[in-house]
């Protein structure tokens, strides 16, 4: 199962409509992809399953940060 981080107000699904999701995110003045990339601890030398776990851990870490309370949500892959 894969997850992504999204602004709670973003009406687009980052899995199924990534370009519109990204445009909305940037128009609102955010760089959610960049925030997640800076937070995740991963490596190309670990399995895809472990990379998914690292991304989910980073998302959970961001959501647990009181500075971001209510700003972001965790979106589950539709597949």
> For each of the chain's 79 residues, which pLDDT tens digit applies?
699 999 999 999 999 999 999 999 999 999 999 999 999 987 889 998 899 999 999 999 999 999 999 999 999 998 7
Beta bridge partners, 7, equal 72
Question: What is the structure's pLDDT at 1?
Answer: 65
**CA separation for the pair 77, 58 (Å, rounded):** 16
Question: What is the structure's pLDDT at 42?
Answer: 79
68, 35 in Cβ contact below 8 A?
no
Domain ranges of the chain: 3-76
Question: What is the structure's pLDDT at 19?
Answer: 98
**CA separation for the pair 79, 61 (Å, rounded):** 24
Model confidence, pTM: 0.90
């Amino acid at each position: 199962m894969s997850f992504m981080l999204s602004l709670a107000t973003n009406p687009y699904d980052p899995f199924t409509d990534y370009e519109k999701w990204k445009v909305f995110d940037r128009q609102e003045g955010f760089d959610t992809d960049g925030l997640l990339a800076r937070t995740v601890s991963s490596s190309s030398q670990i399995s895809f399953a472990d990379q998914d776990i690292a991304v989910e851990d980073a998302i959970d870490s961001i959501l647990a940060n009181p500075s971001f309370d209510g700003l972001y949500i965790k979106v589950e892959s539709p597949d």
